[in-house]
Amino acid sequence: MAVNPKHTLGFLAGGYRNVAALKGIELPSLNERPLYDSMLVGWDAADWNSIYPLLQQGKMPALAELLSAGVHANLATIDPPISPMLWTSIATSTWPSAHGIHGFTEMHEGGIRAVRGSSIQIPTYFDYLEKQGVPATSVAWWPSHPAKESTLGAIRVSNLAVSEDLRWLQDGVVPKEHHGLLSSLLLKPEEIPATAIAQFFPDMELDSKDDVVRSVLKITTHALNVQLLATFALDYGAGGHASIYFDALDHYKHL
């Protein structure tokens, strides 16, 4: 039986325009796409030991093209390898003792909550770029909630704005004028076609009650929404620089 092209991971990963086509959502006009001078993509848990065999098999042609035209190397990590701590060290070029992010959670008003970007104690490179007149768009950087207003018109999407709970959008996306459209575009797990998830389980019968299948669906939905928000931010942002963080690979590895 033929698969609807719109029901494949490849189509859904094409970004907000493809999702809008799937949902029948009309998009605002885009006169001219902004130009970006640089982009930093955070790819959590990416490992050369896994990547090289795939490259040799010709399964990652886009990455192979990037590598052939540039420079690549191993990147040392910090121990313990706790994602919010690591990615804040990248954003600040400092140790956790300086930037103040030490884990996944933090104390707040006598309780515990997910760590916030507002708890970072020193400027990030986003701040330095904008101080030099370069708009700095960021999507899903961990941690970055609440989204910090850009002085130069860049779009900021916090890590919590990608949550299934749309209430996080309120403080998770700036400018706020995009909230309505993004809330309608963001995918829910039940909107992901079964054929897309089936690609993770070749030659297997899917059981919607299986814990692994449900986890893959949740992680994949989150990853697709990061891509959706990233492509939207790039198109409707202010150019300059963009930083985008993907954590799905790390979550898949924990299954």
Looking at residue 1, its pLDDT comes to 57
List helix spans (H) across the chain: 9-12, 16-23, 48-56, 61-68, 83-92, 96-99, 125-131, 169-172, 179-185, 194-198, 211-236, 248-253
Neighbours of 48 (CB within 10 A): 12
Report the percentage of the chain scoring pLDDT > 70: 99
For residues 132-139, give the mean pLDDT.
Answer: 98
For residues 114-143, give the mean pLDDT.
Answer: 98
Q: Above 60 in pLDDT, residue 36?
A: yes
Task: Find which of 63-72, 122-131, 204-213 is predicted with most confidence, using mean pLDDT.
Answer: 122-131
Distance CA 105, CA 114 (A): 4
Higher per-residue confidence, 47 vs 125: 125
Which whole-number Å values give the CA distances from 61 to 46, 77, 88, 220, in the listed order? Answer: 16, 26, 30, 21
Which range marks the domain in which residue 101 is found?
A: 5-28+35-253
DSSP-derived letter for residue 172 is H
Q: How many structural domains compose the chain?
A: 1
